[in-house]
Amino acid sequence: MKNNTVLVTGAGNGIGAAIANAMAEAGADVIAADIDETSAKASAEAAATHGGRTLALQADCGDVASIDAMVDSAVATFGKLDVIVNNAGVTRAAYIMDLTEEDWDRMHRVNAKGVFFCLQRAARQMIDQGGGRIVNIASIAGRGFKGTSNAAYAASKGAVIALTKTAAQQLGPHNINVNAVCPGVTLTPLVDKMLIDRAEQENTTVEDVLADLSRPIPIGRPNTPEDIAALAVFLAGPGARNITGQAYNVDGGLITS
């Protein structure tokens, strides 16, 4: 990834922080963007320990003006944008009959609308440069995983998978590769909160909820954020130059489609 400039959204913690760190370790210059500026700075500082240049940006990936400003700042600082990893996302544990219009709008604002406009804005820059890589973080929830946090979240991640395939077809002639990573159960702060919520709803313990989610995994363990980061780095790198329009599960074999 040397000589590549990589923008990671939702980089403040969990999967995003792991991706920012892994990209930096692979030699990239990294922009860590997050709605929480303090977290973005912490991730950028951690990435900087690998010796490359970094930048922390506060950005709301559900707001198009904020997305434009984020990409403009990245390009103004580094002169180009080679890779964007669209990782920012939100969810909560909820039964389908308990979801509200506010829940739907909140999740789709970031998880679907936000990914689309981050992709579109980055692609404009990449077309001008002659190419680039786009990696969207989706979820096996978008493929019907029954253990999803909620139906609205699953729908938003299904949208990301569909967007990835269509964008790959339309952006391929511009030398832009578009792929998705679909994590399974992954131990992040977002999932920790979901586990707590579900434990309260089911009157059980967090450990029991995690055990229930982990038991069906053939390989026997949930993901760490670094498991997702490893695939994101590959898809952004030279080994994936002829891979586009794909959505890869990282889930220990939990689902096979």
Query: Catalytic residues, which ones?
Result: 153
In DSSP terms, which residues pair with 31 in a beta bridge? 7, 55
CB 185 within 8 A of CB 169: no
Q: Which residues, listed in sequence order, are joined to residue 7 by a DSSP beta bridge?
A: 31, 84
- Write out the two tokens for 154: 């699953």
Contacts of 215 (CB under 8 A, 6+ apart): none
Distance, in Å, from the CA atom of 192 to the CA atom of 206, rounded to the nearest integer, reads 8
Beta bridge partners of 61: none
Query: Residue 229 is which amino acid?
Result: A
